[in-house]
Amino acid sequence: MSYDQARVTESLGAEHNGLCESLTHDAEAYHLIIEHIDQGAAILAANGTILYANRRLATMLGLSLKDLMGSSLLQHLPPPDPALLTKRIHGSCRQKEHVVWRFPSEAMDKAKLHVVLMPLEPGGRASYSVLVTDMAPALEQEALRRSQTTLEQETANLTAAKQIAEQASRTKNIFLATMSHELRTPMNAIIGFNELLLMTEKDDNRRNQMNIIKEAGNSLLQLIRNMLDLSKIEAGQTTIYEENFVLSELIYAVVSMFEAQASSKKIALSTIIDPELPLQIYSDSGLLKQILINLIGNAVKFTNSGSVLITVGYSDESPEKVVNKLIIFYVEDTGIGIKPENIDRIFEVFEQEDGSLTRRFGGSGLGLSISKRLVTLLGGKINVKSTPGVGSHFSFFIPCKVKENKG
């Protein structure tokens, strides 16, 4: 071999070695990439035998790489129609077309595998490459998107329904307020003229009839007032008018309204006011008076024997060194009591402890509902404890600014 030939041979050898090193490096890089992709990948022989597979494919199929190598792909991912698929595979090899099918994987719960089989250039052992994609995340995302769209639509529907309901409620409250006001004026006239007739009528029979008119008129007027109060509260039109007033005077004035009724039923009506309370407090005397009228009126109405006791004092939770104090009011009776399962119902609109009570004692079932709303409006809370046949114990507290007594 001449010197020049030796140099050419040496150059070709070096070039060959470099090319081999480059191919080896590229092959390692491709292998590393394939091993780390999120899809299953495989190389198949012409008969479908797996010549190479990455770990992701083995994981998808629930197999080890050792069990996967040398096996048939169609054994693990059988298509819906094997004969048709085989025909399409042979056709795709000639026309270099992809073949696609889906398969539910048992190894992955509810997953759907998307299989793409691609023909390779003929002439080697390998005839096909395969990519297997887990469609479960995409399907979950689609389901989530649809669910979110449905939720948004339902939310929009609920918002529209809520607005319609609120508008209907406002319309109802306006109607009740208007009708209550319109009814109250002629009702006052009827009661007033009836009182004038009572003052001049001497015949006992006619006086009894007039008293029935008076009692029925007062009951209807009270119902109208309650409806007006409730509609104003629900419409947010109740205004708080705070002022300084003597608390004991207000309490005794309310209690005196029920003394005749209590006396006729031969029940004791008593009041205890804590001497530590200030002479004057700063709150809404009108709303407080209405709450006490409802509670004391119910206590006297539902008590046939025994007593009704009204107690007023500082709440145990009242701060000691601030101007705002929590004043608590108790109304206790020895009346018919309330069943435990009906405690929550009594504060609902038009509800009484028992439907038969309306026939026995009268009333609309609005008093306690209004009282609870008024107590809440004043920043307080109302509670009740009761035992059937023993009596009831209502209590409520409200925050008040106090004007301390001066010695």
Q: Per-residue pLDDT for the chain (407 aa), expressed as one digit of tens each? A: 555 555 556 565 555 555 556 555 555 656 666 777 778 888 888 777 888 888 888 888 888 888 888 888 777 776 655 665 566 555 555 555 556 656 554 444 445 777 777 777 655 555 777 778 877 777 677 778 888 888 888 888 888 888 888 787 777 777 766 776 677 778 778 888 888 888 888 888 888 888 888 877 877 777 777 777 777 777 676 788 888 999 999 999 999 888 888 998 999 999 999 998 888 888 999 889 889 988 998 999 999 999 999 999 987 655 554 457 889 999 999 999 888 888 878 887 655 545 555 445 455 567 888 889 899 989 999 999 999 989 999 999 999 887 555 44
CB atoms within 10 A of CB 250: 17
Residue 316 tokens, joined: 């145990």
Task: Please list the residue range(s) of the chain that carry CATH number 3.30.565.10.
Answer: 243-403
Could you give the count of Cα atoms lying within 13 Å of 64 in the half-sphere of its Cβ? 2
Q: What are phi and psi of 77, to 5 degrees?
A: -125, 65
- pLDDT score, position 346: 83
Q: What are phi and psi of 128, to 5 degrees?
A: -140, 150
Task: Please list the residue range(s) of the chain that carry CATH number 1.10.287.
Answer: 140-234
β partners of residue 119: 128
Question: Taking Cα atoms as reference points, which of 351, 355, 261 lies closest to residue 300?
Answer: 261
**Spatial separation of the C-alpha atoms in residues 279 and 222, rounded to whole Å:** 31
Residue 82 tokens, joined: 């094997």
Question: Taking Cα atoms as reference points, which of 337, 315, 336, 335 lies closest to residue 326?
Answer: 315
Q: What letter would DSSP give residue 336?
A: S
Task: Please list the residue range(s) of the chain that carry CATH number 3.30.450.20.
Answer: 37-134
| Cβ contact 377:233 at 8 Å | yes
Give the DSSP H or E segment for 90: helix 82-95
β partners of residue 271: 310
- pLDDT score, position 107: 45
Which residue has 């010197």 as its token pair?
3
For residue 202, give every residue at least 6 positions away whose Cβ sits within 8 Å of its Cβ, in sequence order, or none.
Answer: none
The CATH class of 140-234 is: mainly alpha
Which residue has 């022989």 as its token pair?
45
**Spatial separation of the C-alpha atoms in residues 168 and 233, rounded to whole Å:** 16
Give the DSSP H or E segment for 22: helix 3-36
**Spatial separation of the C-alpha atoms in residues 73 and 385, rounded to whole Å:** 75
CA torsion, ordered 40, 46, 48, 53, to nearest 10 deg: -30
Amino acid at 9: T
- pLDDT score, position 250: 93
> Tell me: domain 243-403, CATH 3.30.565.10, correct?
yes
Angle at 141 between CA 137 and CA 144, to 5 degrees: 135
CA torsion, ordered 138, 143, 147, 153, to nearest 10 deg: 80
| End-to-end alpha carbon distance in the chain | 134
Say what angle helices 204-234 and 367-377 make with each other, to 10 degrees. Answer: 40
**Spatial separation of the C-alpha atoms in residues 358 and 346, rounded to whole Å:** 12
Q: Where are the alpha helices (DSSP H) in 116-264?
A: 136-200, 204-234, 247-256, 259-264
Angle at 157 between CA 152 and CA 159, to 5 degrees: 95
**Spatial separation of the C-alpha atoms in residues 63 and 107, rounded to whole Å:** 9
Output the CATH code of domain 37-134. 3.30.450.20
- pLDDT score, position 239: 80
CB atoms within 10 A of CB 334: 20
| Cβ contact 199:214 at 8 Å | no
Question: Taking Cα atoms as reference points, which of 157, 310, 182 lies closest to residue 247?
Answer: 310
